[in-house]
Each structure stands twice: as C-alpha cells, then as structure tokens.
Structure 1
Amino acid sequence: MDSLKELFKIGRGPSSSHTIGPERASKIFKNMYEDCDSYNVYLYGSLAATGKGHMTDKIIIETLAPKKVNIYWDASFVHPYHTNYLKFVAIKDDKEIGSIDVFSVGGGTIEIGESKKDEKKKVYKLTKLKDIIAYCKEKNITLYEYVEQNEGKEIWDFLKQILNQMQQTIENGLSKDGYLPAKIKVKRKAKDMYKEYEKANEALKLTKKIFAYALATSEENASNGTMVTAPTCGACGVIPSVLIALKEEFAFSDEMLIRSLAIAGLIGNLIKENATISGAEGGCQAEIGSATSMAAAMAAFLFGANMDEIEYAAESGLEHALGMTCDPIGGYVIIPCIERNAVFAVKALNTANFVVSVGQDHVISFDDVVVTMAETGRDLIPAYRETSTGGLAKYYEKLLNKEK
C-alpha cells in the first residue's frame, strides 16, 4: 500500500479524480514537453461524461498555460483498465513529438500507463486489516504506532498539516454565503446551519455542528476551493466535520487528533488497495462509504475503542453504504453530494458510538465488506458510476429548465 501522503492530499476541488488527478498529470506532461507549440488532451469515459461540471478542462488549460490547449471529449470509450482515462499529446511544427496515457484512479492518485507501481516501492506490506491487527497484537503496538513504524516519524508533521487544512477549510466555508457556481441554483447553507447549532438545545448541538462543518467543507470543494481529499473531494466533508467537532466538544489534543487521522488513513488505504475509492469505478459507496468507514474508525479510537472495536466501526461504516450510486446532477459535485456528506458524517459518529456501546462482537469482517464493495461496484451499471446518465442525474435538465 502507498503512503498516507498519497491518500490525504491538499488541493482544489471539486473532484479528486476529475480535477486534482488531471492537474497533477498536466504538470508532469508540461515538464516533459515544455518545448512544444501546443497540447492536445483527450478525455474519455467518466472524465468526458462529467468533466465539464467537474472543471476538468478548466484545470488542464490553466495548468498547461500559456501554450494552446485543445480538449477532445469522448464519453463513449471506456478504457478496460479504468474509466478515468486521459491522453496527453505534445505538438510541435504540426507534428506529434510525445504522448502519455494517464489513469486518474481516485483520490487524486494517477497512474502513467497500465502498470501499477512496483510493489517494492510500497510503504505497507500488509494489505488486510486482520493481518495488521494480528501483527500489532503480536508486537504489542497500537494501530497508530503501526502507521509510524511504516511511514516514519515525519508522518506526524504531515498529518498536522492535514488537520490544519481541514480546520481552515471549515472556517472558509462558514464565512461565505450566496450561491454555488453551477447552472443549478443551490444556496450555500453552512453559515445558516451554524446559526442553527448556536441556538439548538443540548441534545441536538453536536449533530448540527457536524452538519455545519460538513456543509462548509463540501461547499468549499464545490466552489473550486482548497480542501483535503479524505479520501476524495466528493466525500471530503465527512472526516473533517467529525474530527473538528469532536475536538471542540471533547477537548481532544492535537496529538490524539493526528493519531486518529493516522487510523482513518490506514482504513482508507486498505479500501483503496483492495477495492476502490473512485466513484467512477465503484459508485458513491466507494467515496462516501469509504469516508464513513474511515471516520467511524477514527471516532471509535477517540472514544477509547480497542483495535477489534475500531475494525468493527470501520466495517459497519462501509457495510451500510453498500450499493450507493454516484449520480451527480449536471456533473456537479453538489446534488446529492453536499447533503450526503453532512448526513453520513453524523452516521459515522453514530456508528462509532454504537460500536463502543455494544462491544467488538460482530459477524462480518472489515476485509470481507471491502471485497463486497469492490464486487458491488463492478456490478453497478455505468449510469450509476459518475457518468451523470442515470439515477437523479437523469432529471437534471428538468431542474435546469425550472431555474431559468
């Protein structure tokens, strides 16, 4: 498995696979072929189907500037390796001088060509949670100590940066009002939700705070703002809202918070390794389901759960998101994405609360539910995998016309 530095990324929304990934690829290709007259960029599959709403063309053109960039779209071709496929071609004197094939496989991670990274370069050798827990018990270490053992002590400085950015994104989102940048008029709700939190009775305060923080993060993402892939842009509101709300409500130290982020990252890495975190490959279960699993494990740790209870929280968080479709209206990461982040953030907290209340005894393992999620994602028809051709997205024209 890769480093957590490849899972948690600070970047601009609205999509990790459609914005951050193509931006990273564009920078690589620009450095390879600076001495050219222009660039041709071909977008295929899901990148072509929802690229306009995700600002894929915008970020590519900005990154490859000042050279001329020609964008070509072909949603009909789905590469067998991964649907998020783009091809870069450098042109000089009307001739092709170089090209690369790139796959944006989720969370902003890109692969050049069809071969995955050399396993020798992987940071983590163990790829099943049951094996990691068994190892930790044998060595008498915690899950966060296992992360440090594989990543090195520098991982804590990195996770502190991630924590700080999550806090900053929430603050940015809470400070703004008006409408989100899309043809569908959707009002920002984070600031108003925070006001609801301030006047709520004690029984509802924490829930409303999490709602507000998830909305703030997701609205920043939808507005091309800076956020953390956790594990993706589309699901970026879940972990920060739970983490920062718990920090404020229970006065957890930054040390505890970054340890909990390490555990969340370990869970996300396992899902990414054994299934997918890409909505274009596995539907929204791969994005919001993964984020809920990560946040539930993180919160369970903060509540004092042991390793087996953390495993249960991670399993339950993903299990109850199985089969979720990715059907963004108009190709924007707005409907149903933003509300979904808020609702599932509270669900993640409730999952952790449930697990620490009932204990570690359960039937389905985390490793098994990850495999199930991967199989379910493959069974979803393309219309439900970030193509905006099925589900709620079928009706986006009606909504757009209604707003005119």
Structure 2
Amino acid sequence: MNTSLFELFKIGIGPSSSHTVGPMRAALRFVESLDHRGHLADIEHVIVDLYGSLALTGHGHGTDRAILLGLTGEAPDTVNPEVIDAEIEAIRSTGTLYLLDRDPIPFTEAEHLLFHRNQMYPDPEKPTHPNGMRFSAFDSQGYLLAQNVFYSIGGGFILSAEEFEAQQHAKTTTTRSVPYPFRSAAELLALAAKHNLAIADLLLANEVALLSDHSIRRPSPVEGAPIATPQDQIKASILSIWHTMQSCTARGLTTEGILPGGLNVRRRAPRLARRLETEGSKDPLAPMDWVTVYAMAVNEENAAGGRVVTAPTNGAAGVIPAIGHYYMRFIEKKSDGISEEKIAEEGIIRYFLTAAAIGILYKENASISGAEVGCQGEVGVACSMAAGGLAAALGGTNDQVEHAAEIAMEHNLGMTCDPIGGLVQIPCIERNGMGAVKAINATRMAMHETLGHKLSLDQVIATMYQTGLDMQSRYKETSLAGLALNIIEC
C-alpha cells in the first residue's frame, strides 16, 4: 500500500484532476525545482509542450490555465477560484508571467505553451502515459538550463519521467510502512479477518501510521473538532473533506447560469432541487432523485472551475458526496443510547475509510485515468468506492463491502470517455448521477445476498484495466470519437 486516503481525496479545483490539478502541480513542481537549484533568476523564457490527451482536450479541461497558475506558484488546494480569471487575464494581456509570483518572464501562449495534437507521447519511440508534458527553461542566450517530463496519471497524481519508469519496474513494491499492508482485495480481506478488524478500522490504523509522512497533505480539521488521539486527528481531517464536499454541493444547488466553454450547458441542479423540495414528498423514488441532483450539483461546480474534492478524480467528483448525502439524509440511524449526530458522523467516517481502501486497490493495481482506461476508471471507480463505502456505513460485513464494490464495477466495464468539446460537461455531469444511483443499487444487492458470489473484486479490477488497455485511444479522453464526434450530426 503506497497511497493514502488523503491523496485519493484531494481538495482542488475543476474541471479536471488529470488535466487541471495534475498539470498545475507539475508546473509548480518544475518552477520550485528551478528555485531550489538557484536558476530562477536566470530564466529568460519557459516552453511547455503538451501531448496526447492533454493536447487534444486540454483547452476544454483548463490545462492551459492550470499551467499558467502553477508557474506563478499557485497550488490546486490553496488557489482562490474567485481570482483565477483575473490572474490569467493579467498574464495574457501583459504577455508577462511571474515565476513563483516574483521573477517576470515574457510568456505568449502561442509561442510558449504548445499543444502537440498529432503526437501521443513526449518521446514518440517510447509509449508511456497519454497525459505527458515537457517543461523546458532557457536563459537569455537560449541555453537550456533545465528540462523535465511529467505525466498526469489520473486523480491529480503526477510522476516525473524517472518516477514513472521506476514505478513500471517495481509496481508492487511497498515503500510506505504501515501495520496492515495490502496489494489486493484478497489480502485486504484476509488481513481484516486475521486481526478481527473492519476494513475501515484497518485503514484507519494505516493512516495513523502515515501521520509522520509529511509528503501527504491533510486538510486542517474543522474548527472545534476534538483531537485527543492520532485516530481523532485522522477522523477530523476526514470530516474536513466531507465539509468541503458539503460546501461544494450547497454551491451547486444554488448557483444558476450557463457553464463556461461554449456548449451553453445550463446548470440544472438548482431547478431540479427546487422541484424536489415542492413535489418530492409525493414520490417514493424522490431519495434517488436527490442522489442524482447532489451528484450533478457537484459536477456542475466542477465544470465551472469551482472548489471540489477529487474523489478519486474531478470528472467523477459527484458520486462520493452524493452517496454521503444519501446516507446522512435518508438512512435511519438507530440510536442505542448514542446521539443520532454521533452515529451519523461515525458512519460517514467508515464510509470514507472503506471507500478509500477500495480506491487504493484501483489506483495501485489498475488506473483511475480516463485517458488511460476510459470513464470506467473514473465514474466506474467512484461508483465502486461509493458502493463499498455505503455498505460499510450501513454496518455491512467486509465480504458485503467487497461484493458491493465488485458489483458496481462489473456493470461499468467498458465505459468510454468521450467528452463533447473536451469539456467535463456532457456526458460527465449526468454520468455522475447515474453512477451514484448505480452505487446504491450495488450496495443493496450485496447486502441482500447471503450465499456468496462468483466474481471477486480483484478479478473485476484486473478486467477493468485490461479492458481499458484494449480500448481504442480515441475513446479515452481525446474527444475524437463517440458523443464528442457524433454530436456534430445532432
């Protein structure tokens, strides 16, 4: 196990984790490395080359804006979404970019930010990951001072070329020390059974062990949260993530208007929510409608470039919070002498810990990158995480958690990523609603089953990954086929 819950659930901005959050982090890492080596003041200009999916759908996904922000020193989890437009306009209108917000260089996008739409990888002779980018820094004499290649591998995760190659040769090597390391769902279930632990408790122990790892950025606890033990610290940070998701949902439920990008997609969540508030009591399926609206509200915020939580990607950011809201609002909490609020809080913590354990399995054994395996790696993985997490929140057994996660992915296999216009809008927004509803159904099927099941989560994860590798690249976040192409005829 090399991945933390707080790396799967990252606070950032929309519209894309792989095309916005990842490139911003890569640009920031590059310019910070220049500063660390004392080169920053010597830089006369920087050239950024984008390849593959980043080049083909980067404009629609905000990659250009992300690169500019990262070079100026902005980070996805701290940048203020309300000032982004002004910062970008200042760079474009003046033709000047301030590296780390202090060293000015000339920057014209047509010359210094290049989209290589006919080249899939930085090195054509060496296929790697389809989200590749190269950063090059030159002095006033045109001498190349530094050059780095990065890959945005999904969910906002980035790897340098050297890190990417090392990972390919040592994919199963555990480098982080945790009490309960696991590489498969079978190992996870066996460890939990051996130590008589719920999956959530097992992952909590691992997260406590990772508290000393300062490379993991954990959100600050919500003000007033009691922190008496390391376990309390982890739980408080999880609740901070949930608080951010709730805030995002609330914004999405009240913000009207047209989403940016040129498709003229109208925000629908506020109107749908108002209808449910007035008519929902008459409809026995209203809770499922609310789940759809919650998911759409989050992804409309994401499409607008707002503050979201990557879960495990931005394109799939609505599924996990939608199921969280479903659990909090529509599931009866049995008190047993404990306050309903406390029961709900513990349930939502189990939900996130269990969902993270499932997400780690996909991240480390397959992919959460739409550009690598299609939307089955984004909404499909989020659906699987949410289904398993909900089973845990409802008091399900570890076997029921695994079964729910397996069912959810089994029925997302082969799902393509074909965003119209390279925008995270159609079909992405509605698809999050569909994924959230499917997660509830998967959980209910698993919780009602008592005689076991044929397929394992590990088998389905392996199938998803192989299916993604077999999928034609034009169906993997390139906007060269599927809805992205046929919408022209509609």
CA contact (8 A) 2:26 2:70 kept: no
Q: For residue 116 of structure 1, report the CA deviation from its aligned partner.
A: 4.3
Find 1:111's aligned residue among 159, 164, 185.
159
CA distance in 2 between counterparts of 1:267 and 1:388 reads 29
Counterpart residue number, 2:430: 339
Q: For residue 396 of structure 1, report the CA deviation from its aligned partner.
A: 4.3
Find 2:444's aligned residue among 353, 366, 374.
353
CA contact (8 A) 2:52 2:130 kept: yes
CA distance in 1 between counterparts of 2:468 and 2:177 reads 26
Matched, 1:53 2:57: no
Q: How many residue pairs align between the two structures?
A: 399
CA distance in 1 between counterparts of 2:466 and 2:408 reads 17
For each residue in 1:254-293, what CA deviation from the matched residue of structure 2 results, as whole angstroms up to 9, or x when unmatched?
2220121010011011011111000000001111110100
- 1:244-393 aligned within 5 A: 244-250=325-331, 252-359=343-450, 361-393=452-484
Q: For residue 120 of structure 1, report the CA deviation from its aligned partner.
A: 4.8
Counterpart residue number, 2:211: none
For each residue in 1:165-217, what CA deviation from the matched residue of structure 2 results, as whole angstroms up to 9, or x when unmatched?
11010011111011111211111011111123222225122111111111110
The one-letter code of the counterpart of 2:175 is K
Q: For residue 53 of structure 1, report the CA deviation from its aligned partner.
A: 0.2
Q: Cα gap change, 1:123/1:183 in structure 2, threshold over 3 Å: closer, same or farther?
A: farther
Q: Cα gap change, 1:18/1:360 in structure 2, threshold over 3 Å: closer, same or farther?
A: farther
Range with bigger deviation, 56-65 or 330-339:
56-65
Counterpart residue number, 2:240: 161
Helix, strand or coil: the match of 1:115? helix
Counterpart residue number, 1:74: 116
CA contact (8 A) 1:329 1:395 kept: no
Off by >6 Å, runs of 4+ in structure 1: none
CA distance in 2 between counterparts of 1:26 and 1:397 reads 34
Matched, 1:39 2:118: no
Q: Which runs of 5+ in 1 are unaligned?
A: 400-404
For each residue in 1:60-98, what CA deviation from the matched residue of structure 2 results, as whole angstroms up to 9, or x when unmatched?
112223244410111322231201000111122122110
The one-letter code of the counterpart of 1:236 is A
RMSD of Structure 2 on Structure 1 (CA): 1.5
Q: For residue 244 of structure 1, report the CA deviation from its aligned partner.
A: 1.5
Helix, strand or coil: the match of 2:148? strand
TM, length-normalised to structure 2: 0.79
CA distance in 1 between counterparts of 2:283 and 2:311 reads 29
CA distance in 2 between counterparts of 1:230 and 1:253 reads 20
TM, length-normalised to structure 1: 0.95
Helix, strand or coil: the match of 1:72? strand
Helix, strand or coil: the match of 2:151? strand
Q: For residue 37 of structure 1, report the CA deviation from its aligned partner.
A: 2.2
Matched, 1:139 2:195: yes
CA contact (8 A) 1:230 1:239 kept: yes
The one-letter code of the counterpart of 1:42 is D
Q: Cα gap change, 1:360/1:388 in structure 2, threshold over 3 Å: closer, same or farther?
A: farther
Counterpart residue number, 2:218: none
CA contact (8 A) 1:214 1:237 kept: yes
Q: Cα gap change, 1:394/1:123 in structure 2, threshold over 3 Å: closer, same or farther?
A: farther
Q: Which runs of 5+ in 2 are unaligned?
A: 35-39, 73-97, 99-104, 122-126, 209-230, 334-342
CA distance in 2 between counterparts of 1:197 and 1:269 reads 35
